[in-house]
Structure 1
Amino acid sequence: MIDIMPTSSKINKKAFKSSVPKTTASAESASTKAMETSEIPVESTGDEPSSQLSLEQTKKALAALINHIEKKAVEDAAVANANPGSKKRKLNLLSDDPSDPKESEKQALYLVIGSKKYLSDKPVMKPYRITVPHPIYNVDNTSICLITKDPQRLYKDILLVDENSLVKDKVARIVGISKLRTKFKTFEARRQLRDEYDLFLADDRVVPMMPELLGKTFISVKKMPVPISILSRTGASALDTAAKVATARAGKKRSSKMSAEEEIALEKDAVSSKRVNAEITRTLNSAMVFVPAGTSTTVKIGFSTFPVDGLAENIQAVVDGIISKNIVKGGWDGIRSLHLKTRDSISLPIYLTEKLT
């Protein structure tokens, strides 16, 4: 299950009091007028317009959060400088570039979506990818780790070693399932792997294994691998056909008699750096919406270093996406609340429904 970030905070809530926007139950009529005059592009979602989300309310909450982050950074720096030998001082020295995604998770902003009914009966491992106008990750400074089937060397040769590969400069590391089970078995090893890379991708055929192999170490910080297809469509079809033929010859429905050598040869022909490149591009330009077996989920919409207008556009795109893709059943009528927060702040409301059922 994808854990939802707590809405409580260790910080002093009084720091927000003067900047927290006042929220009505839904503010539908006022926000409709605001959206009609806004230059922010609104994706059409059929009969249910996205104008129920107030642009003004959203920007007020964003400004309050960014203001909090900036004040917190100044306070932390002052504390660190006053205690040169402290752990906080050492961490501060390692985080001199707040615009670098590797060092700025504390500056990430999240949209917390609350629904009236369960989003799903059980956790869905494959997240929805909703395209946002302002990419959350930059391909030039985003380190990517790809998790694949075994043998690991086969995928490294094709995607990282081959001079013609389109992703050899985009994927920093490839880890096979066997190595994930052995080398990264302990909590500390998993934590180090998690913190070493900005984004994790996984061959969609091994995704069901990820909760067991990565566990809460990854789930708690929203770093579960994003499933991607690493096979070309024709290659995937050829593999599927060969497996069915081998199964038919064996006379058994659930076991393939294809030799390991035959399977590796087919796999080698099927792996496509072009397909992986397309999947990476799509992922970098999307917000990930994981669907838990619960009534709320959290979506990263950007960092505090983004312009407020850009963050507001990303939020609008995510809200439009969860409605158009029917992630929240019933569209706007199914949304109970929308809040904005950082990793360690209180949640600021930008939409609360008037109808609780």
Structure 2
Amino acid sequence: MAAVDSGDNQSNRRIPQPTIRKAVTSLLKWKKKQISDQKPPISGDVDDFIYLLLTLKKIPHKDFTKSPKKITFPHSLSTSPESCRSCLIIDDRPKPNSQKLTFDFVDQKIKSLGIPISKILKLSKLKSDYRSFESKVELLNSFDVFLADRRIINMLPEILGKVFYKKKKKIPVPVDLRRDGDWKEEIEMGFCCSLLWLSKGTCSVVKVGKFEGMKVEEIVDNVVAAVGGVVQVVPKKWAGVKSFHLKFFDSLALPIYQLDQKDGDMVTK
């Protein structure tokens, strides 16, 4: 039986892939029925992402909740990087030793590497042209994926505001854009990842799949990778995890891992 390895060599915790596959299949079946019955989402929003729901044993220390953690997996949540609308936010602040990233330099580099980016947006232009609530909403709706130079990632919540960060659906993914870095690998990984933002409570979610454009096995692969990635960045790793569930935004949460309160063993269903 194939199993999910936590990525922690000191841990014996495993989640069987058939458990994940059963949950994914059930969720996709539920979503198809919902669509065929023409039932609108409870929230009123169109949301066809599958989420990995993490429940911790204890509320994490505030140091863990300050910034999101990048969780990578093998399959993009977009139909393909080439077909999705993507925006790359670059750090054009003055830097020593002529390290400032100009629009022309970035544009030439991503084109030479064949990187599929729809729009390059300078930090200075983001600050000047997207001050109003309406302009931020327009920006949010114009692109499927946002990537940003990791050097400015902590500045973006204040600049982009609650339009981007309240529901945490299109938070810019940090990428390393050092001049001598591997931009192609960084940006390709940016398309194949999601952000885990640990909440100030015990429950947090991270996107791992999508109803449209993804096969069952692709979603299973992503869940496998996401579980391992999440365990590596949460407090106490597996020792701090109470449960994992899979769900759509408006569906029931299906368990794939639960800690038995009596003896501390894993229980899967």
**Band the TM-score falls in, shorter-chain normalisation:** 0.7 to 0.9
Segments of 5+ residues of structure 2 without an aligned counterpart are 95-99, 265-269
Shift of 1:161: 4.5
CA pair 215-346 structure 1, distance change in 2 beyond 3 A: farther
- The corresponding residue for 2:49 is 108
Deviation at 1:70, TM superposition (A): 1.0
Q: Which amino acid aligns with 2:130?
A: F
Of 109, 128, 131 in structure 1, the residue corresponding to residue 70 of structure 2 is 128
Quote how far apart the aligned CAs of 1:335 are.
0.9
Matched pairs, number: 251
> Which whole-Å CA distance do the structure 1 matches of 2:69 and 2:237 have between them?
18
Partner of 2:97: none
C-alpha separation between the residues in 1 aligned to 2:120 and 2:82? Answer: 18
Q: Provide the C-alpha distance between the structure 2 equivalents of 1:164 and 1:112, rounded to a whole number of angstroms.
A: 37
Alignment of 1:255-294 (within 5 A): 275-294=182-201
Q: Secondary structure at the match of 2:8?
A: coil
Partner of 2:169: 222
Q: Secondary structure at the match of 2:83?
A: coil
TM-score (norm 1): 0.62
Matched AA of 1:46: N
Q: Pick the structure with more strand per residue.
A: 2
Identity of aligned residues (%): 27
AA partner of residue 227 (structure 2): V
Q: Distance in 1 between matches of 2:25 and 2:13?
A: 21
Rate the CA distance shift 1:163–1:42 in 2: closer, same or farther, 3 A: closer
Three-state SS of the structure 2 residue aligned to 1:114 is strand
CA offset digits 1:258-301 (Å, max 9, x no partner) = xxxxxxxxxxxxxxxx6322210122233433334442221111
Task: Name which of 24, 47, 54 aligns with 2:10.
Answer: 47
List structure 1 segments (4+ residues) > 6 angstroms apart after TM superposition.
none
CA change 1:176–1:333 in 2 (3 A) is same
- Structure 1 residue 316 displacement after superposition: 1.8
Quote the Cα distance in structure 2 between the aligned partners of 1:161 and 1:232. Answer: 12
In the other structure, the counterpart of 1:32 is: none
The residue identity in structure 2 corresponding to 1:76 is Q
Q: How does 1:294-333 map to 2 (within 5 A)?
A: 294-305=201-212, 306-323=214-231, 325=232, 327-333=233-239
Would you say the 8 A contact 1:126–1:227 is kept in 2?
no
Q: Which has the higher helix share?
A: 1
| Equivalent position to 2:81, from 122, 126, 139 | 139
Kindly report which structure 2 residues correspond to 1:176-215, keeping only aligned pairs within 5 A, or say none: 176-215=122-161
Note closer, same or farther for the CA distance 1:185–1:41 as it changes in structure 2 (3 Å cut).
same
What's the offset of the Cα at 1:55? 3.2
AA aligned opposite 2:86: I
1:159 equivalent to 2:102? Answer no
Q: Distance in 1 between matches of 2:66 and 2:176?
A: 17
The separation in 2 between residues aligned to 1:121 and 1:162, in whole angstroms, is 38
Residue by residue, what CA displacement relative to the aligned partner does 1:2-60 show, whole Å, maximum 9, x if unpaired? xxxxxxxxxxxxxxxxxxxxxxxxxxxxxxxxxxx23x674652121342x24333223
Secondary structure of the structure 1 residue equivalent to 2:58: coil
CA root-mean-square deviation? 3.0
State which structure, 1 or 2, has the greater radius of gyration over its C-alpha atoms. Answer: 1
Alignment of 1:346 with 2:252, yes or no, is yes
Return closer, same or farther for 1:41/1:157 CA change in 2, 3 Å cut-off. Answer: same
Which residue, 11, 16, 21 being the options, matches 1:59?
21
Contact preservation (8 Å) 2:103, 2:122: no
Name the aligned partner's letter for residue 55 of structure 1: Q
